[in-house]
Amino acid sequence: MSVWHGEPTLEEINRDLQGCMPGFIGMQMTEIGDDYLVGTMPVDERTRQPFGILHGGASVVLAETLGSVAANLVVDTSKFYCVGQEINANHLRPVPEGTVTGKASVVHIGRTSQVWEIRIHAPNGKLSCISRITMAVVPVPAQ
């Protein structure tokens, strides 16, 4: 059974990412499962650090984007929105080039918070970063 509110499409999600940081660095959402979201990000001049490997901050941007998008797909956005409260990341191995793939999987969906785990893999399939994000579920203010 799907955790999503409604039936989100990759086209809608990717359209919403344009014009802000995820779009500027080439991030794309590529798969929606019943309780997970997958996205990719290029390792290039936009996302590398001066030593020629994927910047840890770029990995966190991918993790936060995946977790945030996923969390907001769970709620009725006419009543609630989700914002990041805390994120952590362990950078396990360097990635010099190619495209990394992140998968956000639900850990907990509560009334006022959600927790998502994001695993980012290098092009060779090896785990390069593991992250966890806690999202606050906030009521939309009455107008």
Long-range contacts of 37-40 (CB under 8 A, 24+ apart): 37/66, 37/69, 37/70, 37/73, 37/103, 37/104, 38/66, 38/101, 38/102, 38/103, 38/104, 39/65, 39/66, 39/69, 39/101, 39/102, 39/104, 40/99, 40/100, 40/101, 40/102
- Supply angle C-alpha 61, 59, 25, rounded to 5: 60
CA atoms within 13 A on the CB side of 59: 26
Catalytic residue list: 64
